Amino acid sequence: MATYGLQVNGQNVSVTIDDADTPLLYVLEQNFHINGARFGCGLGQCGACTVLLDGRPIRSCITPVSEAEGHSVTSLEGLRAHDKLPDPSDLHPIQEAFAKLQALQCGYCVAGPIMQGYAFVRDNANPTRAEIEQALKGVMCRCCAHTRMIDAIQTYAQEKTR
């Protein structure tokens, strides 16, 4: 048994677990009832489980919980608080852009495009559509809302620089 301390959506928490290899996703899901990181493939191929680890998007389904020790983990629920915006239960501006453009169908995948898009826009001001499309490589959407997702990320990027 080992105890790991981490920050989940701004809260300091600890988890005691018998296997350091346990993927972070299962700890988030079972111990902290996080709904925003979702199991899609368990192989790091689809992006549905994406969370931010110290602000960097990672695949929580293939990241051992031990690697999160001492780090901050942000899921979709905590994105607004991560940017220290007021009213943390409201939507983050990138989530607002997705909602405004109805940039999803079933929505199961959106942690991938939102988290990946968020980090990309943070690090790259005024991205082109083609750049956004490339940045989303490695995340999947099987309802195929690709066009709207790219539009939503671009809308967010434009509003951010305004």
- Is 99 one of the binding residues for other proteins (CB under 8 A)? yes
Helix (H) or strand (E) holding 152: helix 146-161
- Is 111 one of the binding residues for other proteins (CB under 8 A)? yes
- Is 141 one of the binding residues for other proteins (CB under 8 A)? yes
Q: Are 24 and 59 in contact (CB under 8 A)?
A: no
Q: Which of 13, 67, 133, 160 binds other proteins (CB under 8 A)?
A: 133
104 Rama sector, left if φ>0, alpha if ψ -120 to 50, beta otherwise: beta
Instruction: Say how far apart CA 130 and CA 135 lie, in whole Å.
Output: 9
- Is 143 one of the binding residues for other proteins (CB under 8 A)? yes
Instruction: Say how far apart CA 78 and CA 52 lie, in whole Å.
Output: 10
Q: Which of 124, 128, 134, 158 binds other proteins (CB under 8 A)?
A: 134
Instruction: Say how far apart CA 140 and CA 147 lie, in whole Å.
Output: 13
- Is 34 one of the binding residues for other proteins (CB under 8 A)? yes
Q: Which residues make up the interface to other proteins (CB under 8 A)?
A: 18-19, 22-23, 26, 29-30, 33-43, 45-46, 48, 75-77, 79, 89, 91, 95, 98-99, 102, 104-111, 113-114, 133-134, 136-148, 150
